[in-house]
Amino acid sequence: MRVDSDIKLDYQDVLIRPKKQMRTSQTASRSNVDLIRKYKFCNSGNLYEGVPVLAANMSCVGTFTMAKAMAKEWMGVCLNKHYSADQLIDFYKRTKLFGSVFYTIGINNNDLEKLDYVINNLNPAYGRELQFNICVDSANGYLISFEDRIKLLREKYPKATLLVGNVGTPEMVQHLIGAGADIVKVGIGSGSVCTTRLVAGVGYPQLSATIECADAAHGYGGHICSDGGIQCIADICKSFAAGADFVMLGGLLGGHTESEGKWIEDDGNQFLEFFGMSSEHAQEKFNGGLKKYRASEGKCVRIPYKGPVGHTLQQISGGLRSACSYVGADMLKDLSKCTTFIRVNRTHNTIFGDSNG
């Protein structure tokens, strides 16, 4: 046993320090800030172009309707893995959203067989050459079986872009990139409906995890997706400022028209039942109950109805443009280069409540 005494930070521990705009800057207005990122992935060789914000592969927000709404803003979705194979095939054929949508699998063989079936039915002629986005999802990305699954998928589908996770340390990020991952999902215990830190005592503060893992991935030519810890739009800005290539959202997107799940009416108001995918609620809904050897590592909450997601996505884009303009970044790509974080005891004034407006 050893204790790492270095201070690790979360989003609420810092603010982005503003700085004077350079005369060479092209950003006279927030509207001129370019949020589009262009990436070439290190293992698949595929190209990506878009605003790198992703809806999480949770059953409530990783939905077909969310994917179509996000695509209108050049954003993406990791689909939840509980759609049937035929539903997925029909969705891909109708929408053609191959570039902005990730197909999600776990690490069991049934998921792999389902993926094979979907890909073969989308275009049998492609096979190994199909450029397809796959999210390989596990609460514990440190398992040997997880690494083995990534190696298998890289060999089986060399042209597929693999987004894999979750992990929280730079050494494991580099290891997974070496195993065939293109993007590593970073975040342990930081989600709004995750209780891993309460149950298992395991985690890593999300800002520090993002900074350290981004640095490790970029040194290997890879990318990271910061997943979890987002409480408000400012945290998305801080995540990109910390070096994240993608940011994944769960609770912030819950409760919209495009969400799926059980809606509950209480005193004339609508609420969405929102739960973590490692919760007892999710295990009962999708896997026949919580196994005796497992503990629930998630909770179930109610999120009030927020209306169509388009407004929230516009707020996210506006927040990112504003953050860039405050530090003189002409484009989202430059935000991390222009950022200095300052440690604080309080990030904002809460006298009239803690709402994000």
* Banded model confidence at residue 266, pLDDT cuts 50, 70, 90: confident
Instruction: Give the dihedral of Cα atoms 184, 186, 192, 195; nearest 10 deg.
Output: 110
Task: Using the predicted structure, report yes or no on whether residue 42 has a pLDDT greater than 90.
Answer: yes
Tell me how far apart the alpha carbons of residues 295 and 290 are, in angstroms, rounded to a whole number: 8
**Residue 228 in domain:** yes
**Residue 351 in domain:** no
Of the candidate ranges 220-229, 271-280, 345-354, the one whose mean pLDDT is the lowest: 271-280
What does the mean pLDDT of the chain come to? 90
**Residue 270 in domain:** no
Residue 357, pLDDT score:
47
**Residue 356 in domain:** no
Top-ranked range on mean pLDDT: pick from 64-68, 104-108, 194-198: 64-68
Residue 101, pLDDT score:
97
* Banded model confidence at residue 288, pLDDT cuts 50, 70, 90: low
Could you tell me if 206 and 190 are in contact, meaning their C-beta atoms sit under 8 angstroms apart?
yes
Quickly list DSSP for 312-339: HHHHHHHHHHHHHHHHT-SBGGGHHHH-
Residues labelled catalytic = 194, 196
Q: Name the pTM for this structure.
A: 0.93
Task: Using the predicted structure, report yes or no on whether residue 269 has a pLDDT greater than 80.
Answer: yes
* Banded model confidence at residue 191, pLDDT cuts 50, 70, 90: confident
Residue 141, pLDDT score:
94
Q: What percent of the chain has pLDDT over 70?
A: 89
Please count the structural domains in the chain: 1
**Residue 71 in domain:** yes
Q: Which domain holds residue 174?
A: 13-18+33-265+309-343
Average pLDDT, integer, range 329-354: 93
**Residue 302 in domain:** no
Tell me how far apart the alpha carbons of residues 45 and 282 are, in angstroms, rounded to a whole number: 35
Q: 307 vs 63, 82, 145, 304, CA distance in Å?
A: 16, 24, 41, 9
Residue 281, pLDDT score:
61
Region for 75 from its dihedrals, namely left if φ exceeds 0, alpha if ψ lies in -120 to 50, beta otherwise: beta
Expressed in angstroms, the distance from the first to the final Cα of the chain is 45
* Banded model confidence at residue 314, pLDDT cuts 50, 70, 90: very high
Task: Using the predicted structure, report yes or no on whether residue 211 has a pLDDT greater than 50.
Answer: yes
**Residue 107 in domain:** yes
Q: Which two tokens stand for residue 269?
A: 């108001």
**Residue 349 in domain:** no
Residue 123, pLDDT score:
75
Q: Can you give the CATH number for the domain in which 88 is found?
A: 3.20.20.70
Task: Using the predicted structure, report yes or no on whether residue 125 has a pLDDT greater than 70.
Answer: no
* Banded model confidence at residue 189, pLDDT cuts 50, 70, 90: confident
